[in-house]
Amino acid sequence: MPMIIYQPLQATQQQFVEFWSLRYQDKQEHLYLSNIGQELTEKRILKLYQWKNGTPLSAGKLASVQDNFVKRRIELAKLPPDISANDFLAHFKNGGVIWRIFWLHCWQPTRFPIFDQHVHRATTFISNGVPEEIPKYDPRKIVAYVDRYLPFHAQFATIDRRAVDKALWAFGKFINEVNFPWVSPNVKPVSQGPNAVLGIEPAGTLK
């Protein structure tokens, strides 16, 4: 009877994205794919925030999305197309940092990636070897996104952006839910250099 254990495997960015993006699961992915990158109508905005929320919006969240994003969508056309993330978030200053960053993503999805607790955890682990939770206070969340996550995500510029998002989300969720072996003497160096990241491979079969 085969019994399998797993160990970390050092990998290239491409290998990391290919491995972890396949482990991303979302039954509502169609809500995102069918509405992102198109004109931000009220219906599309509400569908995108339903996807972001993971469930239908409560009355309070619906009111927040309506007041802070839907009713203000006309303002997007007046903003410089090359506006910085900081300036955009200062302009749309209500509605919660994570949802304001998602609003930024909805406006320019190819320029500004999605941000949440899982991708932050993945970023800090890959960068420093130790996962960190997303900052509690809103100004620090903005700093984490602008100064840390945007430059980090840019390192994956040659890889499909949605696949990168899925991989980082799945990896960040994984290391939060399992007793992940952060340091292992059995790590095999497939790719050396500062841009190497981790996948997981079977360590062997016990017979």
Tens-digit pLDDT profile for residues 142-186: 999 999 999 999 999 999 999 999 999 999 999 998 776 655 434
Which token pair is 69? Answer: 């994003």
Residue 75 within any structural domain of the chain: no
Q: Tell me how many domains the chain contains.
A: 1
Q: What is the pLDDT of residue 183?
A: 52
pTM score, two decimals? 0.86
Strand pairing partners for 189? 10
Distance from C-alpha of 103 to C-alpha of 109, rounded to nearest angstrom:
9
Which token pair is 120? Answer: 């932050």
Average pLDDT over residues 88-93: 98
Instruction: Measure the CA angle with vertex 24, ends 47 and 165; round to 5°.
Output: 70
Structural domain containing residue 194: 3-26+85-206
Q: What is the pLDDT of residue 6?
A: 74
Q: Quick one: CA torsion of 185, 188, 189, 191, rounded to 10 degrees?
A: -140
Residue 138 within any structural domain of the chain: yes
Q: Which one-letter DSSP state was computed for residue 7?
A: E
Residue 70 within any structural domain of the chain: no
Residue 57 within any structural domain of the chain: no
